[in-house]
Amino acid sequence: MSNLYLRNRWFEDLPVGEFHVFGSHTFSELEMIEFARLYSKAPEYTDPEAARALRWGGLVAAPWHICAMWMRKMVDYMEVYAQGVNDGRRNGAGISVQSMTWLEPVRPGHTLTYTYEIIAKSDKVIRDKWGVIRSRNEAFNQNGAKVLSFEIDILAERGTD
Amino acid sequence: MKSHQRSLSQEEIIDFAQAFDPQPYHMDAAAGDASIFGGLCASGWQVAAVATQLASDTLAAEGYNPVMLTAVSEMKWRKPTFVDQSLTTELQLGERQPSSMVPGCESQGVEISVFGPEAVLVAEISAIFAVDTSQ
């Protein structure tokens, strides 16, 4: 029953306070460099040798790489819990982000675990069919230290009843 | 301050989406056409990364010694970014704080407006960069 319920929820059915641990990822040096070469060109992110002499004493993940992996884990999670649903219950677009901070460096071999909690639902209706869900999202490393925190507003399709 | 421009090819948009944001409207033209966006478009995270890199390049060229992005107090995705659309940013310096999570740096607030073709506002990013003031 719980699985079916999770997979078939419209905006109205999403409860404030619901909390999910939705994915983990171990960052490799290679993928960190590949991301940074395209999107965050600085030696801290692209050059392990040069990074040793820089302020983190080694290579770290680019800030947006940590967020991009958040997105990947979220999409993968929806793939499981909204399997077979191909409408706005699953593929709601993000519209804005608040209070995003990167708190600790993420180094090669670090494993991040991503969580979200629904913290607010707006009364706004967008294009006649979308509601707005605000969630607090956090990532923790393998030692339990928080490395990323932000809130995001995402569209969720409203039920047609 | 105005930045250089950068566009994202269909291949770059799809590559990023396959790695980080595998949703139909970021990977498939027909799915994009049918979506709320009205066409194949870049992941908002790809746009954010490109925009802050453009902004960081501009700050560096202007002598502000940006070290890294440490926070985004607010970011709004206003319009989709489609294939090969030129993105530019316009920067306005905000508050400077004497401390940063990065040792030896100060925090510089930067309001980044991201524009697509015909000066359409694509995104707004209130960013905080760690800037090295020792140089």
pLDDT value of residue A88: 67
Task: Please state, as a whole number, how many other Cβ atoms lie within 10 Å of the Cβ of residue A53.
Answer: 9
pLDDT value of residue A2: 54
Contacts A101 to B, Cβ<8 Å: 70-71, 101
- Look-up of token digits 């409207």: B25
Tokens representing residue A70 in the block: 């958040």
Residue A83 has pLDDT above 90, yes or no: no
pLDDT value of residue A1: 44
| Contact between chains at B45 and A101 (C-beta distance less than 8 A) | no
pLDDT greater at residue A56 or residue A144: A144
pTM: 0.94
Tokens representing residue B37 in the block: 């966006």
Closest by Cα among A117, A115, A44, A39 to B19: A39
Alpha-carbon gap, residue A161 to A61, rounded angstroms: 45
pLDDT one-digit tens code per residue, A15-40: 999 999 999 999 999 999 999 999 99
Q: Please name the helix (run of DSSP H) or strand (run of DSSP E) that holds residue A48, with its range, or none.
A: helix A48-52
Residue A4 has pLDDT above 80, yes or no: no
DSSP-derived letter for residue A92 is P
In angstroms, the Cα distances linking B132 to A36, A112, A129, B34 are: 20, 28, 47, 46
pLDDT value of residue B107: 96
Alpha-carbon gap, residue B89 to A9, rounded angstroms: 38
| Contact between chains at B67 and A55 (C-beta distance less than 8 A) | yes
Between CA A126 and CA A130, with CA A129 as vertex, the angle to 5 degrees is: 55
- 10-residue block means of pLDDT along chain B (135 residues)? 93 97 93 90 97 96 93 97 96 92 90 96 97 85
Tokens representing residue B4 in the block: 């250089």
pLDDT bucket at A161, cuts 50 / 70 / 90: low
pLDDT bucket at A81, cuts 50 / 70 / 90: confident
Residue A128 has pLDDT above 70, yes or no: yes
| B10 near A CB under 8 A | no
Amino acid at the residue A3: N
Tokens representing residue B97 in the block: 């704080």
Asked if residues B131 and B104 have their Cβ atoms less than 8 Å apart, the reply is no
Helix spans in B10-134 (H)? 10-20, 24-27, 29-34, 44-61
Asked if the ipTM is above 0.90, the reply is: yes
Residue A79 has pLDDT above 90, yes or no: no
pLDDT greater at residue A85 or residue A123: A123
| A44 near B CB under 8 A | yes
Contacts B67 to A, Cβ<8 Å: 42, 44, 55
Class of domain A2-27+63-157: alpha beta
Alpha-carbon gap, residue B65 to A142, rounded angstroms: 32
What lies within 8 Å, CB to CB, of B89 at 6+ separation is B2, B3, B51, B54, B55, B58, B112, B113, B114, B115
pLDDT value of residue B36: 83
Domains of chain B, first to last: 2-7+43-132 (3.10.129.10)
Q: Is A21 exposed, middle or buried (0-12, 13-18, 19+ CB in 10 A)?
A: exposed
Residue A97 has pLDDT above 60, yes or no: yes
Alpha-carbon gap, residue B16 to B11, rounded angstroms: 8
- Look-up of token digits 């980044």: B112
B79 vs chain A: nearest CA distance in angstroms? 9
Contacts A150 to B, Cβ<8 Å: 72
Residue A85 has pLDDT above 80, yes or no: no
| Contact between chains at B19 and A94 (C-beta distance less than 8 A) | no
pLDDT value of residue A82: 74
